[in-house]
Amino acid sequence: MHSSGFSVYSMGNSTSRLYSALAKTLSTGAVSKHQEYLEQTDPDFLDPIDPKDLLEECQVVLQKRPARFQRDFVNLRTSFSRSHRPIRVMQWNILAQALGEGKDNFIQCPREALRWEERKCLILEEILAYQPDILCLQEVDHYFDTFQPLLSRLGYQCTFFPKPWSPCLDVECNNGPDGCALFFLKDRFTLVNSTNIRLTAMKLKTNQVAIAQILKCNETGKLFCTAVTHLKARNGWERFRSAQGADLLENLKKITQEAEVPLIVCGDFNAEPTEEVYKEFSNSSLNLNSAYKLLSADGLSEPPYTTWKIRPSGECRHTLDYIWYSQHALNVNAALSLLTEEQIGPNRLPSFTYPSDHLSLVCDFTFNEDPDRLL
């Protein structure tokens, strides 16, 4: 069971205030509520939150749920030269609430497992467990009422770019459009520039988006670019995804001045490694590698799955999520292992223990001290 953390109640005002902050984000419902929330001028609301306190609050909400599964980091470092503090990057399609409840038809997932009040706390618990320096999310449809207010209080700078015609808007009790969101810790990085990209395919604007930001690492003074995207889903759209990927790469070439600036791209590409768009990223002049290949025995194979669900049409087990990085300029020090089939369980994802149909990917990066030797 989740530990209930009795110390929560002895922590005085700060915790009860924190609890009220969490409670404010729990109230789903009419837009007017969200407006009231957005116009919140309570100065307490902007107080920084200690991650441990927020984690305890989430665990109180989740005390009737089974405990989180343990996932271990795999050390991938090849050299042990003293370096700067690693940059931890987390990639996760968190499953839009409106789609989970209204469209996605996870036939083995009990409806109660999808209740936002608790699912939200499972998502936050996962983020707080790994405390990424940079967090890239897809299918975010609770940005303004949940992720922006809470993560900004945890010290993150927050950016959101919704899909122009989000499928969430077709669901009766929706919470607005879903989109991509990018968060970074302000004490570790300084924003140099930020670009919202609406992806095109064959010169046509599409419903898929990306955010790309150039950040300066405060510790080393080095610049790098982080991007988040979510490509078009479904079988039969392979050429469309390929066109979107090509457009994203062209945008990233301009932004990074042809890889002058090291790049990390996180995304749900909705494409297996056999697809054209995967090959485009592998073979790009940006010299990108997929970080999770490094977990395989030969260092060349992607994981067997990053999403696993059961829909009316049957079981879907696919590798669709990736963290790409400039292999000449960045090293992957560690990567978080995936949940095993046994941990995922026979009803697959989402579930009472895991809040999304996609697994989170987490990597620790350092700058390569001698980038010329690999070119």
pLDDT digits (tens, 9 = 90+) for 44-86: 457 899 999 999 999 999 999 999 999 999 999 877 776 799 9
Predicted pLDDT of residue 104: 76
Give the residue among 223, 190, 228 at the shortest CA–CA distance from 211: 228
Element (H, E) at 323: strand 321-326
pLDDT of 39 higher than 50: no
DSSP code at position 158: E
User: In 256-312, which residue ranges form alpha helices assigned H by DSSP?
Assistant: 276-282
Q: How large is the average pLDDT for residues 324-337?
A: 97
**pTM of the complete model:** 0.89
Q: How far apart are CA 26 and CA 339, in angstroms?
A: 28
Q: What's the whole-number average pLDDT of the chain?
A: 89
Q: Which residues contact 371 (CB under 8 A, 6 or more apart)?
A: 328, 329
Higher-pLDDT residue of 56, 43: 56
- pLDDT tops 70 at residue 92: yes
* Beta pairing, strands 321-326 & 314-318: unpaired
